[in-house]
Amino acid sequence: MPAKPILRLRGVRKIFGRFTALHGIDLDIEEGEFFTIVGPSGSGKSTIIRLLVGMDEVTSGEIWLRDKRIDQTPANLRPTCMVFQSLALFPHMSVGQNIEFPLKLRKIEPAKRKARALELLKLLHLPEHYYDKRVTECSGGERQRIALARALAFDPEILFFDEPLSALDYRLRKSLEKELKSLHARTGKTFVYITHSLEEAMVMSDRIAIMKTGRFEQISDADEIYSKPVSRFVAEFMGEVNLFDVTATAGRIEGAGLSAAQGAATRPMADKIAATRGATLMIRPEYVQFLQDGENADFEVTGTLQGIYALGSRIHYEIRTESGQILTVEKLREDRHDGREGDTVRLGWNADSAHVIEEPAFEEQMA
Amino acid sequence: MRRLDSKLGALSSLPMLAVLALAFIAPLGLVAIFSIMPEKVFSIFNMPNFAAFKTMADQGYYKSLLWSLFMAFAATTILFVICWPLAYGMAKVFKRFALVVTIAVVMSLFVSENIRLFGWVLTLMKGGLFEGYLRHWTGIGFNSPLYNVGIIIFGIVYVYLPFMLFPLAQGISMVPDDARQAARDLGATRWQVLTQIDLPLAAPGIMVGYLLTFVLAAGAMAEAKILGGRAVIVIADDIQTAFTYGQNWSLGAALSMVLIVLIGALAIYGIAKIDLDKIMGRG
């Protein structure tokens, strides 16, 4: 980790009446990082950002910006700024007036303000003549860029984003995701982004935090969160996944419908499983192979092919195993499996593409 | 189909148009015609002249007009200042308690204006509720605050409060919370949020409140008569006198026309000034 973190949260708790939205959160965000907090609605991610920008007060805990404690500082005195989900552009002002708003508050002279606004319009690929346009006449994507320009005009230490892309259509969202990432690289600012879309998080972020009911489940880079989730929740949140409840005794891994080879490849995994009260074996759909006759893998499952769905570049298969579990398999179009619905198929994968989640099965957690 | 719809629309508006023409346009026309009749006639079939307007100018009726406009302006401005915080509370803070405030304010309208004003007279007059008891208990009396310009303005403020309060609350509720929060986040102080976000975005409500109260206050008479004891004569009082004791319909009509034209011009100017659609973000 480089230098000192720009933002530190220590034991931050937020309680609304009887409801605890955040249970004592600790978090370090590095200077210049693109950090994304992901979680389903109600997970507390919006609460965090409201505390960080100063729209709500912490119940207890500390927020530090570099060497300054800011949790008691009112929003207008914090050197941070946020792009709202609704964008919150000022409808009674022109594009230029919107962008210049923070500069006008600092009593910067009009000529300098305008120069900066035009610079920002250019940075965000908006034409100069938009300066005099009314914000209400701009399209969704343009408004997005105006909100960004306004936030950048503020020149914040940290730029917060509260799901700013969620209201846009798919294609525009995709292109703005990439633009945001490149903007982050060009400005070198620290971005803290909130979203419920993992895809969005994966495309843009240096690090991702997964939230669940007011706590962080896992904080790591996209790759690690995808391939080595710490819990079933994270695994399932990160897209399609196949999960098996497994146990292990004397180097032998057992799970319903699952036959596992015994040997050097699966041994470390078996030991790991044996050491837990319960464990889950995870395999992503793209790692599952259709086995030909005579072909073998570390883990094998037999089942009936019950659904084939074309997803464009990929094909999605659903297989019902002998124990009644539904498995999903995904193949690139060029690697497609020539089978029909109703066929009996053998599926397999090797130990190095599987991952063990050290967490008891759901029923045991409840007990 | 659409043509049929529009025809039916025009047809179904006929009864209302007839009522408006008979009850609103016709009397107005009659007043306009009477204003250019010779004085002290009671028929509109005379040779028109501008004698009534001349009388108006010669006999200093402009004074009561100016008093009316001044007091209406003062009362409206006071109303704006005192209603803003309350309206803000009703629109953004009180939540369910806002209903209680609404009911309390509306209830005051259930009692006739004159009765409420006489209530204030009994309260404030010498030997009334305040002064009487104070003198009875302490022996110290004070002069009645009644019968001056200040108390008339107070009366107007008191009577027309709902007409400022509700449009203001409506205007304030149109200001999006996130615009306010964003301004704050971008470094605005509370005062800057008020002047640069709240006031411009609530402008339609402010304008409606101002117009309503100003128009009503400029034509108000009971406050000046009952609380003010005719300390000053207001234009509406002059109009009434001209039509009744004065038996000078032409003068009354001329005074009315001046008031109507002034207020009408102001209202049209105000309404033209605010582009509702633009402010509502419908460009």
Range with the lowest mean pLDDT among A15-24, A151-160, A253-262, A331-340? Answer: A253-262
* pLDDT of A361: 55
Q: Which of A22-26, A263-267, B277-281 has the lowest mean pLDDT?
A: B277-281
pLDDT of residue B7: 85
| Contact flag B184-A84 (C-beta cutoff 8 Å) | no
Query: CB of A240 within 8 A of CB of A284?
Result: yes
From the CA of A139, how many Å to the nearest CA of chain B? 12
Q: Residue B67: pLDDT above 80?
A: yes
What DSSP line would sit under chain B, residue for residue?
Answer: -HHHHHHHHHHHTHHHHHHHIIIIIHHHHHHHHHHTSPTT---S-S----HHHHHHHHTTHHHHHHHHHHHHHHHHHHHHHHHHHHHHIIIII-TTHHHHHHHHHHHHTTS-HHHHHHHHHHHHSTTSHHHHHHHHHHS-------SSHHHHHHHHHHHHHHHHHHHHHHHHHTS-HHHHHHHHHTT--HHHHIIIIIHHHTHHHHHHHHHHHHHHHHT--HIIIIISTTSS--HHHHHHHHHTTT--HHHHHHHHHHHHHHHHHHHHHHHHH--HHHHTT--
B175, B185, B282, best to mutate vs chain A, most A CBs in 10 Å: B185
- Mean pLDDT for A18-23 is 90
pLDDT at B276: 58
Burial (CB count <10 Å: 0-12, 13-18, 19+), residue A3: exposed
Residue-wise pLDDT tens digits, A207-239: 999 999 899 999 999 899 998 999 989 988 878
Contact list, B174 vs chain A (CB under 8 Å): none
Q: Is the pLDDT of residue A360 over 80?
A: no
Q: What value does the mean pLDDT take over residues B63-76?
A: 93
- What tens digit of pLDDT does each residue of A36-91 get? 999 988 888 989 999 999 999 999 999 999 989 999 999 999 999 999 988 999 99
Across the interface, of A105, A134, A137, the residue whose CB is closest to B188 is A105
**What is the predicted pLDDT for the residue at A260?**
82
- Model confidence over A304-314: pLDDT tens digits? 999 999 888 89
Q: Does B176 sit within 8 Å of A54, measured CB to CB?
A: no
- pLDDT band (50, 70, 90) for residue B131: confident
Q: Tell me the pLDDT of chain A averaged across its residues.
A: 88
The helix (run of H) or strand (run of E) holding residue A260 is: strand A258-260
pLDDT score at B283: 39
Average pLDDT, chain B: 88
A27-31, A36-40, B95-99 — which is least confidently predicted? Answer: B95-99
| Out of A75, A77, A92, closest to residue B201 by CB | A92
Least confident piece of the model among A135-139, A255-259, B86-90: A255-259
* Residue A318, pLDDT above cutoff 90: yes
Q: Is B188 on the interface with A (CB under 8 A)?
A: yes
Is B172's pLDDT higher than 70? Answer: yes
In tens, the pLDDT along A163-192 reads 888 878 888 888 889 989 999 999 999 999
- Within 62-91 of A, beta carbons closer than 8 Å to B belong to 74-77, 81-82, 84, 86, 88-91
pLDDT at B162: 94
pLDDT value at residue B282: 47
pLDDT of residue A359: 75
Decide if pLDDT at A255 tops 50: yes
Q: Does B181 touch chain A (CB under 8 A)?
A: yes
Inform me whether the pLDDT recorded for B184 exceeds 90. yes
pLDDT number for residue A1:
46
pLDDT of res. B86: 94
B157: pLDDT strictly greater than 70:
yes
Residue B145 has pLDDT above 80, yes or no: yes
* pLDDT tens column, A276-312: 877 889 999 999 999 888 888 888 999 999 999 988 8
Q: How far is B280 from chain A (nearest CA, A)?
A: 8
Q: What is the ipTM of this complex?
A: 0.80
